[in-house]
Amino acid sequence: MNLDRADERRMMVQTQILSRGVKNKRVLRAMEMVPRHFFVPEEFAGVAYHDHPIPIGHDQTISQPYIVARMTELLAPEEGDIILEIGTGSGYQAAVLSAMGARVISLERIVELVDGALSNLQKAGVGNVSVFVSDGTLGWENMAPYDGIIITAATPAVPSILIEQLAVNGRIVAPVGPQHMQVLVRLTRSTEGIRREEYDGVRFVPLIGRNSWNS
In contact, 204 and 182? CB cutoff 8 Å: yes
Judged by CB, which is closer to ligand SAM: 162, or 166? Answer: 162
Could you tell me which stretch among 6-14, 43-51, 132-140, 185-193 binds ligand SAM (CB under 6 A)? 132-140
Q: Using DSSP, state whether 171 is helix, strand or coil.
A: strand
**Window 80-99: contact mask with ligand SAM (x via CB under 6 A):** ------xx-xx-xx------
Half-sphere exposure of residue 46: CA atoms within 13 angstroms, side-chain side: 1
- Catalytic position from the list 19, 63, 106, 215: 63
Q: Which amino acid is at 193?
A: G
63 is catalytic: yes
Q: Are 140 and 165 in contact (CB under 8 A)?
A: yes
Residues contacting ligand SAM: total by CB under 6 A: 25
- Which of 53, 59, 168 is CA-nearest to residue 109? 59
Distance of closest approach, residue 86 Cβ to ligand SAM, in angstroms: 5
72 within 8 A of 30, measured Cβ to Cβ:
yes
Please report, as ranges, the residues that interact with ligand SAM according to CB under 6 A: 60-63, 86-87, 89-90, 92-93, 107-110, 113, 135-137, 152-153, 204-205, 207-209
